[in-house]
Amino acid sequence: YTLIARDWKRWKQLHVYGGIALFIVIAAPWYVLVSLRNPGFAFHFFIFEHFYRFFTPEAHRPGAWWYFSPVLLFGLLPWWPQFVRAIVGLSRRTVMQTQPGQFNYRLFLWTWCVLVFLLFSFSSSKLASYILPIFPALALLVGYELAQRRRGDLLPSALLGMALAVAGLWLAPTLLRAGSDISLPMYRAFLPWLVGGCALLLIAAIAAFISAYFRQTSAATLLIAAGLFIATQVVTSGAQAFSPVYSGHSLAQQIRAYNRPDIPFYSLNDYQQSLPFYLKRTLTLVAYQGELYYGIQRAPQQWIPDLDTFIKRWQSVPQALAVMPAATYAVLQKKGVPMQVIGRDPQRVAVKKP
């Protein structure tokens, strides 16, 4: 921003030394303590988890250079007209109109958005959430255009809201046809929430279009924004139907009566990250490392490398618990491993040693 706007005065307004000191006081203690207790953590976190992820495919999260473009466009719905107008406003004339010493906040926000977007587009590791930091800045840029209350922008925004709602209503029945035997009940539980949210958005978008047509631009803006917000809350609330797949809460409730700190607990060929939280204990991984390989390298005695070693350990202890994918449970059954099922979810089976 400084180079483009030739605005060097901003640096004099920053509390550089005090600000850096404050950040260090807030952030540094945790990293220092973890590094003292775990030698090598600083390199792993700051170098491997950042530079290696960016420059190499180590994280196994590939994506084309245009990976974030559909993410950006979908995240901006239904405000595409305002977004386009904000881009048009970012012209050389706009930049040249910046008076010496005057802060051009729109140029600053655009600089932030473009640099973050390009940075992660060139990264070797891509996840949709990586560009989330640009959306507050985009919200300010789009909000500036919304504040102009242009009828010509609100009409297509309302139409986009209708299209989004209709697409959701049209896709809703296909969820039932696409669902497997396991996921079908969950899709059925989610369907009313999806239909309800899309119906609310459709009604709000139609009302917004009518309001914009009759030049009630403030009402149109409020209807679109409120309709989209409420519809999103309804749909995401309904997504609780999928919690047995994505959360370990239901499985933990089934296991809780058998869980004691003195009983070893194993996680085979998988690691459900929320399960230790709900059980208030750690698990011993078996034939799985994933993102915990760093800790396993430093405490290999707390890890079992394969199922055969696990079976020997399982048979040598008087009591034990384990959780595993259904396919792994079938393999152990064929091997004659003594197990009693104490809990299930759509993907995993929890057992105890009888």
Tens digit of each residue's pLDDT (9 = 90 or more) over 28-62: 999 999 999 888 888 888 888 888 888 988 777 88
Domain boundary among 145, 177, 206: 145
On whether both 296 and 236 belong to a single domain, the answer is: no
User: How many residues in the chain?
Assistant: 354
Residue 295's pLDDT band (boundaries 50, 70, 90)?
A: confident
Say whether pLDDT at 235 is over 90: yes
- Is 90 in contact with 34 (CB distance < 8 Å)? no
Higher pLDDT, 325 or 96: 325
Residue 100's pLDDT band (boundaries 50, 70, 90)?
A: low
Q: What is the pTM of this model?
A: 0.81
Highest-confidence range of 44-53, 55-64, 174-183, 222-231, by mean pLDDT?
222-231
Residue 24: strand, helix, or coil:
helix
d(CA 241, CA 175): 13
Say whether pLDDT at 96 is over 60: no
Host H or E run for residue 265: strand 265-268
On whether both 237 and 255 belong to a single domain, the answer is: no
On whether both 157 and 27 belong to a single domain, the answer is: no
On whether both 116 and 21 belong to a single domain, the answer is: yes
d(CA 92, CA 15): 31
Domain boundary among 201, 216, 244: 244
pLDDT of residue 118: 96
The tally of domains found in the chain comes to 3
On whether both 279 and 208 belong to a single domain, the answer is: no
pLDDT of residue 290: 82
On whether both 122 and 35 belong to a single domain, the answer is: yes
Burial of 282: CB neighbours in 10 Å, binned 0-12, 13-18, 19+ = exposed
Give residue 315's domain range: 249-352
Say whether pLDDT at 234 is over 80: yes
Higher pLDDT, 92 or 55: 55
- Is 202 in contact with 166 (CB distance < 8 Å)? yes
Q: Taking the CA of residue 93 as centre, how many other CA atoms within 13 Å lie in the half-sphere pointing to its CB?
A: 3
Q: Which residues contact 14 (CB under 8 A, 6 or more apart)?
A: none
Residue 342's pLDDT band (boundaries 50, 70, 90)?
A: very high
In the chain, % of residues over pLDDT 90: 65
Q: Which of 29-43, 93-107, 156-170, 202-216 is predicted with the least confidence, judged by mean pLDDT?
A: 93-107
d(CA 129, CA 135): 11
Residue 208's pLDDT band (boundaries 50, 70, 90)?
A: very high
pLDDT of residue 180: 60
pLDDT of residue 284: 93
On whether both 134 and 18 belong to a single domain, the answer is: yes
Tokens read off for 174? 């296909």
On whether both 290 and 225 belong to a single domain, the answer is: no
- Is 252 in contact with 278 (CB distance < 8 Å)? yes
On whether both 114 and 163 belong to a single domain, the answer is: no
Say whether pLDDT at 179 is over 70: no
Say whether pLDDT at 227 is over 90: yes
pLDDT of residue 181: 52
On whether both 59 and 84 belong to a single domain, the answer is: yes
On whether both 100 and 79 belong to a single domain, the answer is: yes
pLDDT of residue 258: 95
Higher pLDDT, 98 or 13: 13
Domain boundary among 219, 244, 269: 244
d(CA 352, CA 113): 52
When pLDDT is averaged across residues 338-352 and rounded to a whole number, the result is 93
On whether both 195 and 65 belong to a single domain, the answer is: no
